[in-house]
Every structure is written in structure tokens, then in C-alpha cells.
Structure 1
């Protein structure tokens, strides 16, 4: 089982950042934000999902994990208006951390895509020789 775990590299550090941001978001209703029950539930459920996906991505990367993290980050940006807790401190946490999580997920997807493209070009050039 351990031989299947990938080494921690620069790209997996982004998953660790997502994990830390989700942990802050998970604790926000207790420590910083005293908003509605809906806001508390949204922040806790969204952060729990991001924590699970980030841990899964650290253990074994798969692109779908990053796509879901990207969607969850965008959900956190839109949820204050969709769930009715706009203009609260919970909104600021939701939007700020949602933007950061979406950015990190998009960055990791782009880095993986670029690495795959570079590898494909390199192998094509090697085969020509």
C-alpha cells in the first residue's frame, strides 16, 4: 500500500494549502463567525468535503479531485447569496477562502496539464531521434 503513495512534490503542496484553508474554514463558525445556522452548516460541510478531497489528492492524485475542489471553491463564493447569508462576516470567510481554494485547485490542474504536455513533447522528440 505504501509503495502506491506518491512522493510529496511542489504540486502536492497546493493540496496541503487547500487542506489548511479548509481547516480554517471548518473552525470559522466556532471562532470567528457567528452567523446563521445555514451559514454554519454550509461552511462546515463545504470545508469537510474539501478536507477529504485534499487528503485524497495528497495520497493519490486524480484530476477529478481537483475539479471538485474547484467547484467547491466557486460554491463558497456564490453560497452567501444563494443561501441568504450575504453581508455577514461568514460571507467574507466564505468568499475569501473560496477564491483561494478555487485558485489553488485551478493552479494545480494547470500545472498537471503543463507537465503532461511537456512530457508528451519530450517523448515525441525522443522518438524522432
Structure 2
């Protein structure tokens, strides 16, 4: 069976790096809650995406799905104070969620086998 290329993990790894550095770039590094949540999710996303790139398993796609969902609701769940952090979390969270669900769909369409990278 020919396996599909699976590029979504690379995209989520880049987004994880962005999240880790975005408080400095967007200027909300002094907002402890906003920065802490964003950096933590970024590091976890990067770890899950790298796991998916080097040791492909379905767990990392589900982990990325959960992280993307959390990131999209976190500004209201934990009370972000920065507009930049809120917009960043919402937009990146929705992109992560989309990529992760897309990867899960690809995995399901491949007959239960994880698509090759």
C-alpha cells in the first residue's frame, strides 16, 4: 500500500517554535499568564510534532488536537490580558487544530496506518 506524505507535523513544529518566541516578538512577555500559557503550549506542541516526525504514532496527532483546542480557548479560560496574546492564541490554535485534524483524517484514510513523512 502506498503511504501518503504527512507534512502537518512539520507545520505544527514551526507553529510550536513560533509560540515559544511569540511573547518576545509580539511584546506580551511581561504578561505572566499570557506568556506562560503560550510558551508552555509551544514547547509541548513542538515536542508532539517532533515525536510525530521521528516516531509516528496516532497519540501525537491527538495531542496536537488537544493543544490546538486548548490554545484557542485559553485566552478566555485563563483570562489573558493582552490583545496580541489573545489573537495569537486564537489564530495559531485554530491552525494547529486544523492541521492535527487533517493529519488524523489522513491517518484514517490510509487504512489505519500512519502516513509516512
TM-score, with normalisation over the residues of structure 1?
A: 0.79
Q: How does 1:52-91 map to 2 (within 5 A)?
A: 52-85=47-80, 88-91=83-86
Moved over 3 A (4+): none
Report the Cα distance in structure 2 between the residues aligned to 1:19 and 1:84, rounded to whole angstroms.
26
Name the residue aligned to 1:30.
24
User: Which blocks of at least 5 consecutive residues in structure 1 are unaligned?
Assistant: 1-8, 120-129
Root-mean-square deviation (CA, aligned residues, Å) is 1.6
Residue 96 of structure 1 is matched in structure 2 by: 91
Q: In the alignment, what sits opposite 2:109? A: 114
TM-score (norm 2): 0.87
Structure 2 residues without counterparts, runs of 5 or longer: none
Superposition pairs for residues 34-49 of structure 1, below 5 Å?
A: 34=28, 36-49=31-44
- Residue 22 of structure 1 deviates from its aligned partner by 1.1
Could you tell me how far apart the structure 2 residues matched to 1:19 and 1:65 are? 12
* Aligned: 1:18 with 2:12: yes
CA change 1:111–1:48 in 2 (3 A) is: same
Separation in structure 2 between the aligned mates of residue 95 and residue 25 of structure 1, nearest angstrom = 12
How many residues were matched structurally? 109
Cα displacement (A) at 1:74: 0.3
